[in-house]
Amino acid sequence: MNHKIRMEILNRFRRRDTYSSNTDLCVNSNFELLISTVLSTRSRNSLVNLVTEDLYRAANNANKMISLGSKKIKKIIEKIGLSRVKSKNILNICQILIQKYKGNVPNNRKSLEYLPGVGRKVSNVVLNIGFGYSTIAVDTHVFRVCNRTGFAISNSYLKLEKYLLSIVPIRFRRRFHYLFFLHGKVICTYKNPSCSCCFISDLCEYKNKNTTINS
């Protein structure tokens, strides 16, 4: 795909961008953003929002979360996959935040990725949404949409992220992950993508377009 087509795709996404949020996780602070993004690993955001409504009502900062304790955290989030591991990670994250950052979420990659359960995707989401950095998080949806459409092709999440940073102008990066994530979640789905109602279908290089109108 050439630069001209990529820019047209990005501009179409921008013109259709009417979302008031940068994420579909229900959060009110960088602390909640960090914890929710950790919980969202291998879990649906809708399920994360369901359990964190109770979790943040009980503990919406590091000190309160530690007071809650690992067993209570696990009980609240037990519907989420890997709840035992994630409850321990949350508690350890909170302890580190208090010991090293006065309970605040650090705003640099090295410090974020030092936290248990925080990998590159999570750190990119926090840096981008929480602190406004022009990072691009690559999750399964972004990876699929980029490769399927031909917007950017790579067999590695990290290589794809680095390639996207080289071809996506800074002015588009703040919203890139969220918009491509939503496109993959709603339109360019893993099975039976809705190509017939896709607003970039004419620019997409996918050879096996599904032209059936999904009901």
- The SS3 of residue 109 is helix
The DSSP code sequence of 39-74 is: HTTTS-HHHHHHHHHHHHHH--SHHHHHHH-HHHHH
74 flagged as catalytic: no
Tell me how far apart the alpha carbons of residues 106 and 12 are, in angstroms, rounded to a whole number: 34
Cβ neighbours of residue 109 closer than 8 Å, sequence gap 6 or more = 120, 123, 127
Catalytic residue among 4, 74, 102, 139: 139
Tokens at 6, concatenated: 């990529």
Catalytic residue among 64, 86, 88, 121: 121
139 flagged as catalytic: yes
Burial class of 120 by CB neighbour count within 10 A (0 to 12, 13 to 18, 19+) = middle
* CA contacts within 13 A on the Cβ side of 192: 4
Burial class of 25 by CB neighbour count within 10 A (0 to 12, 13 to 18, 19+) = buried
Active site members:
121, 139
